Structure 1
Amino acid sequence: MSCIFCKIIQGEIPCFKLYESTKVLAFLDIGALSDGHALVIPKHHAMKMHDIPDDQLAEMLPTAKKIAKALGNGDPEFQYNLLQNNGRLAHQQVDHVHLHIIPKPSEAEGLGVRWNAKGSSMDEIKKTFEELKARLE
């Protein structure tokens, strides 16, 4: 069974296609938070970013940059969010990796974010750093 984004890639469901290559597809989000809200998806299906092969991810950010520049139309004041969620707790609704480009024309439009800072101590941050650094080596 294919997900909705796989069906869009396969042409089974229409979209407002902005850009397409052999590895990515960019189109307008029909559940837009603001005018121009676009999605960039890899053509390789996986739910989470870390499950996508690197060569399939390589075009996502350059494509997002291309779409953002077009959305901004040369306006140096143009503001936007890039958002990529992984899993339900992270607010992912479609089980296919996707990157949102969300124009932020005003306080009332676009993505609203409220940070809930944990308030870690320097000792806790250092412990986390050391654990992650060891996993990266």
Structure 2
Amino acid sequence: MSNDLFCEIIAGERPAHVVHSDEVSVSFLDTRPVFKGHVLVVPRAHVEVLTDLTDVGPFFEQVQAVARAVEEGLEADGTFVAMNNRISQSVPHLHVHVVPRNRKDGLRGFFWPRTTYASAAEAQLYAERIAKALPEG
């Protein structure tokens, strides 16, 4: 693993509100969410950008499962799923944003206002709600 923030989370060296972890990916709450319940899905293997990812299918199957879980677990109307490659990529480790969306939530275009969780307990509650909506396996 590399020495980046996400590799540290994957290795258990840095705390995070983990939603799901398996041999392919780790999913956890963004610490600066667009909306509460905003999840980052990162490949367990360190890759910087999408073109470096060798096994795309299993990774995006997990992204798909997290998007479904965010909608179901948070009773969201939908999700916004996005990824940056190099430009605007705040951590040099591939990551997909899965953001809960609701009608008239105020999100317009690519302007991403950020919010915060009231406490670690509130963040953990969001992580647990999403995790419970993931399929077993």
Query: TM-score if structure 2 supplies the norm length?
Result: 0.70
Gaps of 5+ in 2: 112-137
Q: 1:73-101, CA deviations, whole angstroms, 9 ceiling, x for partnerless residues? A: 2899712111011012xx21110000110
Who is 1:36 aligned against? Answer: 37
Contact 2:70 2:76 (8 Å CA) reproduced: no
Who is 2:81 aligned against? Answer: 82
Distance 1:104 1:94 in 2: 24
- Greater RCO (CA < 8 Å, at least 6 residues apart): 2
Percent of aligned positions with the same letter in both sequences?
27
Q: CA RMSD in A?
A: 2.4
1:101 to 56, 79, 98: 98
Q: Does 1:63 align with 2:62?
A: yes
Who is 1:132 aligned against? Answer: none
Contact 1:102 1:111 (8 Å CA) reproduced: no
| Structure 2 CA distance for partners of 1:8 and 1:108, relative to 1, 3 Å | same
Contact 2:70 2:79 (8 Å CA) reproduced: no
Contact 1:84 1:100 (8 Å CA) reproduced: yes
Gaps of 5+ in 1: 115-137
- SS of corresponding position for 1:59: helix
Larger radius of gyration: 1
Regions of 4+ moved over 6 Å? 74-77
Query: TM-score if structure 1 supplies the norm length?
Result: 0.70
Q: How many residues align?
A: 110
